[in-house]
């Protein structure tokens, strides 16, 4: 036991002495969260808006002038024909359209219910959601201003064109978590084990009373701890800096993260057993792990829109399941009942890779 | 007076507080085999890098093949050859491909490359393996090929950084025969080695200790000066004075 | 009891033989040298003996344990210094030593007497990272790490390659002292001058052993006539000597050595005359003292 502790301490020393690794370990999560948080999302100003006013009554005029007054929108033009929308979107003249149907005021006054339709170009999903939110807010503001005891309701019907599911919108925090863990656990674990092979220290460790499998175990422990620290730092950042709250159970979230970290570590171990040089280990981790994570986790590109073969591939990407789990817990506030299936899949992947790693592990060099 | 091809004058290189090379002054004459000896960390590699134009000196002057090592590094590189134990050849190319590649790098014409390739392969007895990948050659052959390629463009000086590690004594001597031949053809050879018997093969040699040149003469005179039988003991006497450990 | 017994061990890589039917024995408390160039199979032999590789054929025992069956026992009892450098560059001298001591289930204090003499030289640098040490210092530290658990047999694969002559000499002085502690040592080297420091040496070439003998025996039984020659133009001298029939000649220090094949006799004057005829000046000729290197060159021819 003492030997294991000394070994783990040595691993920590390696990490702490290597400034570059440290920077990757702790700098990258912060930078990524901030980049995704501030650059990729938010703040839509002066969006060109097409207004289709089929009612042309005082209520619609009121709404149009409110929209006009807001800093978020420029009214590109006001027309009558719905067909104009597509042409305008395609030419890029406007990013969204607000359709005020016929008899708007009449419906509002008599039925106390009126409908508007918001069409948004969702090829940039973040942008589209923001537009939707702002427009809805303006309309709600108008309803409130009607200053009457009668409850008037305007129900906006929102349609996202080109990317109806709005996948990948503000849910970048789960995505970043998956990405970082993939990078730290898979790549760093693999590299640190392979480095011992390259340096010849593995030979010495093998020719020692230290059990070969313990070499692996002692490599894994520090990275597990470091990854948990990373999770904490990402979550703190997202809650306190980006204002993305954790709606679900925090403990459950940590437990699931620990599960995913184990999955990644098992992948890292597998790579390290199969490769001989740090270069190859790094390449495999990057191309074989990181790239699929970016492509197939659903974080950058919506899986639903992919062709069938790619959708199938996405099923074997562990990050996809973790991404779903974190989104469910963190954003939707669901409990374990909602994510047990995904958890089981991750567990399966972990056991699978640990199994073949142990089977392939050699007590000798060749 | 013979032509001087390397002229170093108080050449110094500092890394922060650490003086790796401390005001070394020496001359190497044309066609000479000049041994550049020193313990690990004495400053040999740093000095050699400055002379090859790979590293800018902190102070001092030096001319290599008549060119200034501050301003004319490009001209220096055209007039020297370099071979080290670590980098020699592309292992995944064949013998012929390596020769052609380096011939091209050194700016030989296609005609010259063709002739040289043929000559070289015959001279080294590599005819039967000329289409084989270099990785499959024995180390001794690789070293000989690597040396021949380093002088394929008839440089004025060839720098050899521990060229003969890890081969048997016979192969090592065959390698030295190539060196003699090159020197005989007027190429100046500047060589570092850890084999003290090889030191004896040099026309003159310098021994560096702690960044300074502590001895510089023919092997014979050095042995006489230190009153010992072999270069090994000359080296031992000198290097033991070293105070720094890299 | 023998420290090492190797019987006909063989090893192939992708069909290419690396070690072919190698047999030797190492006595307890002996320094046994494996001398040969890179690629001769030295490292494979070391790895088979330290249980890192399985032999394709033959059998071997280290301290009466079988290298295949009893690998665990062997790993507990031997020290190994692989050819590729084997310390943690980013750990300090002291941390490296402490780490390896712990891995081997011991402590620095327990066997300090074994390494004391080496370690005092390292002590001034004990807080320096291993990566920042000179070649000789690294080698000493690696030796300390391999010794810290008082191994019964010490395997050193090219411990002095790339190390300067002074450090090499010191390193061998240390090995001599370890021998007095009754530690058996198997060591490989490409340096001929180190061969004479061993009790017995096996010369190995292309995976096979050419000879196993004491250095003294090799030198005594050289058999050939050996001359040393000197002339003003060394290049020409070597060229001309090639044309002397029934001899092999090669550069040797400041001289050239001429080895006359068995069954032939030659007078120094004959050689001198031959050289003069070819226009060489400053010729000095005499009988040469046979060294291990001459013996090996003779074996290789």
What is the mean predicted confidence (pLDDT) over A301-320? 84
Domain membership of residue B106 (yes or no) is no
A32 and A59 Cβ atoms separated by less than 8 Å: no
**pLDDT for the residue numbered A139:** 81
CA C137/CA C121 separation, integer angstroms: 9
Judged against a pLDDT cut of 70, whether residue A42 lies above it is answered with: no
Fold observed for domain A47-161: abc type-2 transporter like fold (3.40.1710)
**pLDDT for the residue numbered A199:** 84
CA distance, residue B166 to nearest chain C CA (Å): 5
Domain membership of residue B24 (yes or no) is yes
- Closest CB to C37: pick one of B139, B181, B240: B139
A222 and A15 Cβ atoms separated by less than 8 Å: yes
Of A152-166, B124-138, B158-172, C130-144, the poorest mean pLDDT is in A152-166
**pLDDT for the residue numbered B21:** 93
**pLDDT for the residue numbered A126:** 66
- Closest CB to B246: pick one of C39, C133, C250: C133
DSSP A182: I
CA distance, residue C52 to nearest chain A CA (Å): 4
Instruction: Choose among B163, B216, B201, B172: nearest CA to B8.
Output: B216
Domain membership of residue B232 (yes or no) is yes
Q: Is C17 helix (H, G, I), strand (E, B) or coil?
A: strand
Higher pLDDT, A108 or B121: B121
Judged against a pLDDT cut of 90, whether residue A360 lies above it is answered with: no
With bands split at pLDDT 50, 70 and 90, how would you rate the model's confidence at A251? very high
Of A172-181, B5-14, C120-129, C268-277, the poorest mean pLDDT is in A172-181
Angle between helices B110-124 and B95-105 (to 10 degrees): 140
C209 and C22 Cβ atoms separated by less than 8 Å: yes
With bands split at pLDDT 50, 70 and 90, how would you rate the model's confidence at A39? low
Q: How many CB pairs under 8 A join A and C?
A: 83
Of B38-42, B141-145, B149-153, the poorest mean pLDDT is in B38-42
B187-246: pLDDT as tens digits: 999 999 888 888 888 999 999 988 999 999 999 899 999 998 888 888 888 877 776 644
Whether residue A365 and residue C53 make contact (CB cut-off 8 A), yes or no, is yes
A15 shares contact with chain C (CB less than 8 Å): no
ipTM at complex level: 0.81
A94 and A48 Cβ atoms separated by less than 8 Å: yes
Q: What is the mean pLDDT of chain A?
A: 82
With bands split at pLDDT 50, 70 and 90, how would you rate the model's confidence at A45? low
Domain membership of residue B121 (yes or no) is no
A294 and A179 Cβ atoms separated by less than 8 Å: yes
CATH number, domain containing residue B214? 3.40.50.300
- Residues in chain B closer than 8 A to C40 (CB atoms): 168
Residue of C nearest to B163 (CA): C162
**pLDDT for the residue numbered A63:** 84
Best of C122, C164, C167 to disrupt the B interface (most B CBs within 10 Å) is C164
- Closest CB to C78: pick one of A13, A207, A364: A207
Q: How many CB pairs under 8 A join B and C?
A: 107
Pairing of strands B80-84, B18-29: unpaired
C151-187: pLDDT as tens digits: 999 999 999 887 888 888 889 998 998 888 889 999 9
* Overall domain count for chain B: 1
- Residues in chain C closer than 8 A to B180 (CB atoms): 234-235, 238
**pLDDT for the residue numbered A158:** 66
Whether residue C297 and residue B169 make contact (CB cut-off 8 A), yes or no, is yes
C68-83: pLDDT as tens digits: 999 999 999 999 999 8
B140 shares contact with chain C (CB less than 8 Å): yes
- Residues in chain A closer than 8 A to C63 (CB atoms): none
Q: Is B12 helix (H, G, I), strand (E, B) or coil?
A: strand
Judged against a pLDDT cut of 70, whether residue A44 lies above it is answered with: no
Give the count of alpha carbons within 13 A of A36, CB side only: 24
Give the count of alpha carbons within 13 A of C21, CB side only: 1
Q: Which chains touch C (3 or more CB pairs under 8 A)?
A: A, B
Domain membership of residue B80 (yes or no) is yes
CA A8/CA A81 separation, integer angstroms: 70
Residue of C nearest to A16 (CA): C90
Cα-Cα end-to-end distance for chain C: 36
For residue B63, what are the β-bridge partners?
B7, B68
A203 shares contact with chain C (CB less than 8 Å): yes
Higher pLDDT, A50 or A256: A256
With bands split at pLDDT 50, 70 and 90, how would you rate the model's confidence at A366? low
C231 φ, ψ (degrees, to nearest 5) = -150, 170
Give the domain range for residue B10. Answer: 4-91+138-239
- Residues in chain A closer than 8 A to C51 (CB atoms): 207, 364
Whether residue B165 and residue C162 make contact (CB cut-off 8 A), yes or no, is yes
Q: Is C133 helix (H, G, I), strand (E, B) or coil?
A: coil
Six token digits for residue B100: 């052609």
What is the mean predicted confidence (pLDDT) over A15-22? 84
C/A touch flag: 3 or more CB pairs below 8 Å: yes
Instruction: Choose among B71, B32, B30, B69: nearest CA to B47.
Output: B69
Domains and CATH numbers, chain C: 2-219 (3.40.50.300), 223-300 (3.30.70.2070)
Higher pLDDT, C2 or A136: C2
**pLDDT for the residue numbered A167:** 40
**pLDDT for the residue numbered B188:** 96
A50 and A84 Cβ atoms separated by less than 8 Å: yes
Rounded percentage of chain A residues whose pLDDT exceeds 70: 89
Domain boundaries, chain A: 2-39+170-360, 47-161
CA C229/CA C287 separation, integer angstroms: 9
- Residues in chain C closer than 8 A to A203 (CB atoms): 47, 50, 52, 80, 82, 84, 86
For residue A99, what are the β-bridge partners?
A52, A117
Of A237-246, A280-289, C135-144, C195-204, the poorest mean pLDDT is in A237-246
C31-60: pLDDT as tens digits: 999 998 888 899 999 999 999 999 999 999
- Residues in chain C closer than 8 A to B183 (CB atoms): 235
Q: Which helix (H) or strand (E) holds C275?
A: helix C268-277
Q: Which helix (H) or strand (E) holds A154?
A: strand A153-161
Domain membership of residue B228 (yes or no) is yes
Q: Which chains touch B (3 or more CB pairs under 8 A)?
A: C
A92-143: pLDDT as tens digits: 788 788 888 888 888 877 877 788 888 887 766 667 777 787 788 788 778 7
CA A334/CA A337 separation, integer angstroms: 8
C58-67: pLDDT as tens digits: 999 999 999 9
CA B102/CA B108 separation, integer angstroms: 9
CA distance, residue C191 to nearest chain B CA (Å): 8
With bands split at pLDDT 50, 70 and 90, how would you rate the model's confidence at A91? confident
A202-238: pLDDT as tens digits: 888 888 888 878 888 888 898 899 889 889 988 888 8
Instruction: Choose among C22, C24, C16: nearest CA to C57.
Output: C22
- Closest CB to C165: pick one of B169, B176, B236: B236
C106 and C149 Cβ atoms separated by less than 8 Å: yes
With bands split at pLDDT 50, 70 and 90, how would you rate the model's confidence at C95? very high
Six token digits for residue C244: 């002397």
Domain membership of residue B130 (yes or no) is no
CA-based Rg of chain A, rounded to a whole angstrom? 27
Domain membership of residue B108 (yes or no) is no
Residues 6+ apart with CB under 8 A from C132: B246
**pLDDT for the residue numbered A168:** 41
Q: What is the mean pLDDT of chain C?
A: 90
In angstroms, the Cα distances linking A96 to A65, A157, A198, B136 are 16, 13, 57, 67
**pLDDT for the residue numbered B13:** 94
What is the mean predicted confidence (pLDDT) over B164-175? 85
Judged against a pLDDT cut of 90, whether residue A331 lies above it is answered with: no
A174 and A265 Cβ atoms separated by less than 8 Å: no
Best of C99, C143, C156 to disrupt the A interface (most A CBs within 10 Å) is C99
């Amino acid at each position: 036991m003492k030997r294991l502790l000394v070994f783990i301490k040595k691993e920590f020393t390696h990490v702490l002495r290597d400034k570059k690794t440290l920077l990757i370990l702790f700098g990258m999560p912060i930078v990524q969260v901030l980049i995704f948080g501030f650059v990729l999302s938010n703040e839509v100003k002066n969006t060109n808006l097409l207004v289709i006013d089929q009612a042309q009554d005082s209520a619609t005029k009121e709404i149009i002038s409110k929209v006009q007054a807001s800093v978020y929108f420029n009214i590109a033009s006001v027309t009558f024909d719905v067909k104009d929308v597509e042409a305008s979107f395609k030419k890029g003249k406007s990013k969204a359209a607000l359709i005020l149907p016929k008899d708007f005021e009449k419906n509002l006054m008599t039925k106390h219910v009126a409908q508007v339709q918001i069409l948004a170009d969702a090829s940039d999903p973040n942008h589209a959601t923001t537009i939707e939110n702002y427009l809805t807010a303006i309309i709600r503001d108008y309803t409130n201003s009607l200053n009457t005891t009668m409850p008037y309701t305007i129900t906006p019907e929102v349609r996202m064109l080109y990317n109806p599911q709005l996948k990948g919108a503000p849910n970048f925090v789960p995505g970043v978590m998956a990405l970082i863990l993939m990078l730290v656990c898979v790549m760093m674990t693999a590299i640190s084990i392979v480095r011992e092979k390259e340096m010849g220290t593995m030979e010495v460790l093998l020719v020692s009373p230290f059990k070969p499998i313990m070499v692996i175990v002692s490599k894994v422990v520090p990275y597990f701890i470091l990854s948990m620290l990373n999770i904490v730092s990402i979550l703190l950042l997202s809650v306190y800096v980006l204002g993305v709250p954790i709606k679900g159970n925090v403990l459950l979230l940590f437990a699931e993260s620990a599960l995913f970290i184990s999955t990644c570590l098992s992948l890292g171990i597998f790579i390290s057993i199969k490769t001989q040089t740090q270069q190859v280990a790094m390449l495999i981790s990057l191309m074989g792990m990181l790239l699929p994570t970016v492509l197939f986790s659903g974080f950058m590109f919506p899986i639903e829109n992919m062709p069938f073969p790619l959708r199938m591939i996405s099923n074997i990407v562990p990050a996809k399941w973790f991404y779903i789990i974190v989104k469910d817990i963190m954003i939707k506030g669901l409990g374990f009942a909602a994510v047990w299936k995904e958890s089981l899949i991750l567990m399966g992947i972990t056991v699978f890779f640990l199994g073949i790693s142990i089977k392939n592990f050699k007590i000798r060099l060749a | 007076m013979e032509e001087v091809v390397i002229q170093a004058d108080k050449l110094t290189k500092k890394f922060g507080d650490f003086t790796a090379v401390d005001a070394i002054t020496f001359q190497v004459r044309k066609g000479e085999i000049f041994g550049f000896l020193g313990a690990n960390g004495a400053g040999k590699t740093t000095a050699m890098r400055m002379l090859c134009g790979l590293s800018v000196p902190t102070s001092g002057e030096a001319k290599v093949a008549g060119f200034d090592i501050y301003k004319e590094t490009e001209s220096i590189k055209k007039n020297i050859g370099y071979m080290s134990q670590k980098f020699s050849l592309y292992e995944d190319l064949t013998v012929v491909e390596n020769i052609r590649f380096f011939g091209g790098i050194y700016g030989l014409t296609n005609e010259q490359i063709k002739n040289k390739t043929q000559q070289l392969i015959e001279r080294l007895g590599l005819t039967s393996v000329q289409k084989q990948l270099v990785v499959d050659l024995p180390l001794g052959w690789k070293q000989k090929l690597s040396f021949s390629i380093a002088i394929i463009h008839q440089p004025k000086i060839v720098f050899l950084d521990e060229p003969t590690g890890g081969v048997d004594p016979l192969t090592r001597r065959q390698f030295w025969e190539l060196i003699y031949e090159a020197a005989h053809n007027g190429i100046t050879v500047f060589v570092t080695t850890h084999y003290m018997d090889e030191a004896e093969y040099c026309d003159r040699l310098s021994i560096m200790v702690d960044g300074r040149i502590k001895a510089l003469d023919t092997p014979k005179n050095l042995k006489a000066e230190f009153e010992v039988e072999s270069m090994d003991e000359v080296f031992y006497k000198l290097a033991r004075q070293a105070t720094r450990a890299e | 009891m023998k420290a090492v017994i190797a019987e006909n061990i063989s090893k192939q890589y992708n069909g290419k033989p690396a070690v072919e039917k190698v047999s030797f024995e190492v006595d307890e408390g002996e320094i046994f040298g494996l001398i040969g160039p890179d690629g001769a199979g030295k490292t494979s032999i070391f790895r088979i003996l330290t249980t890192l590789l399985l032999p394709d054929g033959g059998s071997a025992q280290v301290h009466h344990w079988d290298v295949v069956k009893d690998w665990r026992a062997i790993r507990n009892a031997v020290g190994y210094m692989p050819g590729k450098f084997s310390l943690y560059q980013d750990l300090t001298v002291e941390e490296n030593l402490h780490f390896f001591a712990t891995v081997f289930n011991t402590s620095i204090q327990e066997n300090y007497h074994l390494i004391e003499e080496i370690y005092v030289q390292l002590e001034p640098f004990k807080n320096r990272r291993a990566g920042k040490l000179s070649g000789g210092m690294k080698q000493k530290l690696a030796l300390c790490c391999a010794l810290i658990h008082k191994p019964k047999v010490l395997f050193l694969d090219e411990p002095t390659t790339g190390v300067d002559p002074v450090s090499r000499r010191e390193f061998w002085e240390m090995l001599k002292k370890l021998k007095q502690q009754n530690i058996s040592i198997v060591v490989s080297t490409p340096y001929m001058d180190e061969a004479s420091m061993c009790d017995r040496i096996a010369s190995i070439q292309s995976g096979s052993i050419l000879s196993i003998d004491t250095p003294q025996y090799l030198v005594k039984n050289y058999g050939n006539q050996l001359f040393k020659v000197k002339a003003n133009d060394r290049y020409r001298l070597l060229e001309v000597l090639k044309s002397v029939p029934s001899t092999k000649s090669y550069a040797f220090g400041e001289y050239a050595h001429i080895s006359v094949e068995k069954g032939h006799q030659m007078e120094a004057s004959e050689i001198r005359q031959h050289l003069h005829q070819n226009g060489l000046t400053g010729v000095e000729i005499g009988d040469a003292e046979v060294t291990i290197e001459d013996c090996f060159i003779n074996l290789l021819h």
